Structure 1
Amino acid sequence: MDAISDRVFTETTSTETSNDDPSLLTVILDVSPAGWYRIRDQTSIDELAKSLLVFMNAHLSLNNSNQVAFIASTPQKSKFLFPNPEIDYDEIRTSSSSSGSASNQHQKTPTLVSKDMYRQFRVVDEAVLEELNVVFDEIANGIQDINNNSTLSGALSMALTYTNRMLTLDQSISTTTASAINSTTSMGAGSGSGNTATNSSTSNPSNSITSMKSRILIVTANDEDDVKYIPVMNSIFAAQKMRTSIDIAKLGFEDSSYLQQAADATNGIYFHVHDPRGIVQTLTSAFFIEPSIRPFIILPTNSNVNYRASCFVTGKSVDIGFVCSVCLCIMSKIPPSGKCPACESVFDEKIIAQLSKGPSVLSKKKRKIDTNGAAK
């Protein structure tokens, strides 16, 4: 936590009142085998999964209305581990509360889960661990073709889609609640005394309505900067519109420039965990703070954000390249077709000829020397 030692304490004033609104936490775990193999001497993915479950349970314990989601990003696909649409969690809660059939139905319960655990914790832990073991078995048995492509951008899109659905559902519930409050208060307003207090509550019904907050946490150990630039930028713009912060817990030895941009653009936290053996302490300190109260907390900052873009043709990051004047497409080289790969605008042949010219070295004029040895 040395990154927060140089911060200066400043007094800030807040115009918003503190609230206890429910929050949605979506965790994305990148399980690419290559990245975890490099840090096999420091930690294992099993230990990290247990630390993430502790972090998610702590989030659920803050408010009984808090929600969590868990997505695994494999080299082949992205998959929801929790909630799983194919599983009815109400039946799990009912069967876990029963005494007779619970022992028969939960014989495969991991040792991490105990009988004295809070019901919501148990449902989340069992679902995540069982689905994560299935993902590991698929990778180990070769069911999923291991390649160098990253599906982290797809997992981020899935997280934003689920977040948007939860926020829309919460908004519909809030609207229904507001209409019920308005109808109740309007009925009470016409009956005798208490009209002043009733009218005040009717004029501002939003004070009794809660709205769900959301944030995304990405945990990855992949040192290869192979994240697709265009889907990531689209996800960043969507997260900005939804006011969803994207936090990054980067393990491994190298930083990820695209994930740095995602955290910086969405007012999230980017933290490079050099020693993952104490990852649970890092999660509960650096990433546990809700975005609404982060202006009052000293958090780790990342001032060296790499804003390099990615080439639309090769997919690699570029420092110097060409930009389309129509759609601002970035290219490290001009396509042979002479068209923009994004908007298919035809480039001017004269401009292409000028840009294709190599660097030329101007020859210096030789100085004439007279018979006396003096230069003219």
Structure 2
Amino acid sequence: MAGERPSQLVLVVDVSPVHWGRLNAAAEESLSFTRCVENVCVFLNAFMMINDGNKIAVLASHPLENRFVYPTSNVPSDGVRYELFAALDKAVVDGMKAMAQKLTLHENVIADGSPSLMAGSLAKALCYINRTTQAGGQLQSRILIVKVSPDAPAQYMATMNCIFGAQKNGIPIDACIIGPDSGFLQQASDLTGGMYLRVPEPKALLQYLMWVFLPDASIRNTLVFPSRALVDYRAACFCHRKLVEVGFVCSVCLSIFCQFNPVCLTCNSRFRVPGLGAAKGKKKNVT
């Protein structure tokens, strides 16, 4: 609305063709990647129309690269409002399709089915928000992630660092999950005050984007949303990158391990082996 404070949205879209293909293979009537991009463009246009001062940035993410597809050097982010919609749609569609097609050239990644680099996407999104803030932008910023690939335990530390950075700077992280549940993004949404939703009907993606993720965080308390899912707070161990419920924690650097190590693999602190106490001398009988 004209009198409301403008917002800035950084959208991260998972464009991994491997996991989009698995999603379509799992259900006869599912959401195609092309249809997802079309829904995203409609959502972005709606966000831009809410307020003349709203700004957007779009990141495409796959297992090899993260790249801004909007704004780019040849696509302006400012200008006559409604004339930007066509340029925005073309930049997003062309950029995401180019990213997906580039990945198909790497057969080893296709066969492996590696998850997308979501930690890198979060880091780039936070840097972009910080840069626009330093440039004097008085915008309410938030991040929205549309994700189809599973979590990568190897990205746990980098992801958590980004989450804590967003929490400290008051940047909500919203998560729209089309594939398997994401424990990392559940924690991100819970810690930063964002929304987490695993879309029950992927073909209705646009309706869920408009209903849940279009309103700003400042007015969400007045609206009715789906009930929050239970947050999976399992951490990934530093030794094997596995998610663990119970593990060993270094008392010096707080690194987590799934099995006992006499020496911390992170800070090289030494620990006493469990069950072996200090040697005690025998007590002499006094007669």
Is the 8 Å Cα contact of residues 29 and 71 (structure 1) preserved in structure 2? Answer: yes
Separation of aligned partners in 1, 2:154 and 2:195: 18
Q: Residue 33 in 1 paired to residue 17 in 2?
A: yes
**1:167 counterpart residue number:** 133
Structure 1 position 301, deviation (Å) = 3.1
Q: Of 67, 72, 93, which aligns to 1:129?
A: 93
SS at match of 2:10: strand
Output the amino acid matched with 1:155.
S
SS at match of 2:209: helix
Per-residue CA deviations over 1:192-222 (Å, capped at 9, x if unaligned) read: xxxxxxxxxxxxxxxxxxx210111111111
Separation of aligned partners in 1, 2:3 and 2:266: 45
Output the amino acid matched with 2:38.
K
Separation of aligned partners in 1, 2:258 and 2:109: 30
Q: Residue 60 in 1 paired to residue 29 in 2?
A: no
Separation of aligned partners in 2, 1:353 and 1:307: 26
Separation of aligned partners in 1, 2:13 and 2:108: 17
Separation of aligned partners in 1, 2:128 and 2:106: 29
The structure where strand makes up a greater share of residues is 2
Per-residue CA deviations over 1:216-237 (Å, capped at 9, x if unaligned) read: 1111111355461111111111
Is the 8 Å Cα contact of residues 269 and 300 (structure 1) preserved in structure 2? Answer: no
**2:284 counterpart residue number:** none
Change beyond 3 A, Cα 1:303–1:149: closer
Q: Of 124, 132, 140, which aligns to 2:104?
A: 140
Q: Residue 290 in 1 paired to residue 256 in 2?
A: no
Structure 1 position 326, deviation (Å) = 0.8
**2:158 counterpart residue number:** 231
Q: Of 64, 76, 83, which aligns to 1:89?
A: 76
Structure 1 position 299, deviation (Å) = 1.9
Is the 8 Å Cα contact of residues 151 and 227 (structure 1) preserved in structure 2? Answer: no
Output the amino acid matched with 2:54.
N
Structure 1 position 88, deviation (Å) = 5.3
**1:341 counterpart residue number:** 265
Separation of aligned partners in 2, 1:255 and 1:303: 10
**1:157 counterpart residue number:** 123
Question: Rg bigger for which structure?
Answer: 1
Q: Which moved more, 1:140-149 or 1:42-51?
A: 140-149
Q: Of 260, 273, 280, which aligns to 1:352?
A: 273
TM-score normalised by length of structure 1: 0.67
Separation of aligned partners in 2, 1:89 and 1:284: 25
**1:302 counterpart residue number:** 228
5 Å-filtered alignment, 1:1-376, equals 20-40=4-24, 41=28, 42-84=30-72, 86-87=73-74, 89=76, 118-142=82-106, 145-146=109-110, 147=112, 148-171=114-137, 211-226=138-153, 228-252=155-179, 254-335=180-261, 338-345=262-269, 347-348=270-271, 351-354=272-275
Q: Which runs of 5+ in 1 are unaligned?
A: 1-17, 98-116, 172-210, 356-376
Change beyond 3 A, Cα 1:137–1:313: same
Q: Which runs of 5+ in 2 are unaligned?
A: 277-287
Separation of aligned partners in 2, 1:290 and 1:39: 29
Structure 1 position 120, deviation (Å) = 1.4
Is the 8 Å Cα contact of residues 153 and 236 (structure 2) preserved in structure 1? Answer: no
Change beyond 3 A, Cα 1:19–1:144: farther
Per-residue CA deviations over 1:52-94 (Å, capped at 9, x if unaligned) read: 111111110011111111111111111111112x42538x97x
Change beyond 3 A, Cα 1:227–1:278: farther
Output the amino acid matched with 1:67.
K
Separation of aligned partners in 2, 1:50 and 1:248: 18
Structure 1 position 287, deviation (Å) = 0.8
Separation of aligned partners in 2, 1:88 and 1:225: 33
Q: Which moved more, 1:19-28 or 1:57-66?
A: 19-28
SS at match of 2:144: strand
SS at match of 2:227: coil
Aligned length: 269
Is the 8 Å Cα contact of residues 75 and 87 (structure 2) preserved in structure 1? Answer: no
TM-score normalised by length of structure 2: 0.86
Structure 1 position 300, deviation (Å) = 2.2
Identity %: 35
Structure 1 position 271, deviation (Å) = 0.5
SS at match of 2:98: helix
RMSD: 2.4
Change beyond 3 A, Cα 1:339–1:241: same
Output the amino acid matched with 1:89.
P
